Amino acid sequence: MENGILSKYQIKEVVVVEGYHDLAKLKAIYETIDVYITNGSEISIETLKELKLLNEKRGLILFLDPDYQGERIRRIINDYVGETKHAFLKKKDCISKNKKKVGIEHAKRDVIIKGLTSFYMSSNSTTTNIEFEDLYRLNLIGNSNSKALRKQLGEDLGIGLNNGKTLLKKLNMFNISIEQIRDILGSD
């Protein structure tokens, strides 16, 4: 293992990814990392039970592709398992060389390291209480440029592109404040 950032942060949690290529990419960076593969979007109840047990024993970091299926898997696991850590990569950092695929396995080493060392903790109890009305006031829903603003916010926060309902859930789940949102969007 190399010196530098890797020696400063050892991953003690189990990292959950979608496939074997993701596993290979992470093992090339972190030799001793423990990785659990979901084998794609079909998550069995047995897999969810194992992940729940692993989360109770070691903790989980959900590190899934920044696409629809990755977000779907993240939601299924989080809803079943409870509080976990969530690491995100920007979609633009995960595009294959031929520009046809999106996935963790296509990200560069430094992007993966940054993603795994700057995660969000999900929580069942929230300290913020953002509501749909707040999203309207911030033009994140109900406006002609809402999608572009949600994209900007998702990229800056590292939580991906979301529709209004999912954005609201993530903002509250990760305890992101209205002030943080306003700072990113440059609004009052």
Phi and psi at residue 14, to the nearest 5°:
-90, 130
Evaluate if residue 6 carries a pLDDT over 50. no
Which residues face 84 on adjacent strands?
Answer: none
Which residues face 60 on adjacent strands?
Answer: 14
**Mean pLDDT rounded to a whole number for the chain:** 85
The rounded distance, in Å, linking the Cα atoms of 177 and 35 is 31
Tokens at 26, concatenated? 């992470």
Domains of the chain: 5-121 (3.40.1360.10), 132-185 (no CATH)
Which of 13-27, 82-96, 101-115, 122-136 is least confident?
A: 122-136
Tokens at 31, concatenated? 């030799």
Q: What is the pLDDT of residues 91-122, one digit of tens each?
A: 888 888 888 888 899 999 999 998 888 777 77
Query: Do 89 and 66 touch, CB atoms closer than 8 A?
Result: yes
Give 124's pLDDT tier (boundaries 50, 70, 90): low
- Cα 13 to its chain centre, rounded Å, is 15
Between the alpha carbon of residue 29 and those of residues 6, 87, 176, 182, the distances in Å are 8, 16, 30, 36
Query: Do 53 and 62 touch, CB atoms closer than 8 A?
Result: no
**H-helix segments, the chain:** 5-8, 20-29, 45-57, 68-81, 109-117, 132-137, 146-157, 164-173, 178-185
Q: How confident is the model at residue 154, as a pLDDT?
A: 86
Tokens at 172, concatenated? 């509250």
Evaluate if residue 182 carries a pLDDT over 50. yes
The rounded distance, in Å, linking the Cα atoms of 134 and 131 is 5
Q: What is the pLDDT of residues 134-175, one digit of tens each?
A: 999 999 999 999 999 998 898 888 787 789 988 988 888 888
Evaluate if residue 59 carries a pLDDT over 70. yes
Q: How confident is the model at residue 140, as a pLDDT?
A: 94
184 dihedral zone (left: phi>0; alpha: psi -120 to 50; beta): alpha
Evaluate if residue 11 carries a pLDDT over 90. no
Query: Do 155 and 89 touch, CB atoms closer than 8 A?
Result: no
Which residues face 63 on adjacent strands?
Answer: 87
Q: How confident is the model at residue 61, as a pLDDT?
A: 94
Global pTM value: 0.74
Q: Which residue has the higher pLDDT, 10 or 112?
A: 112
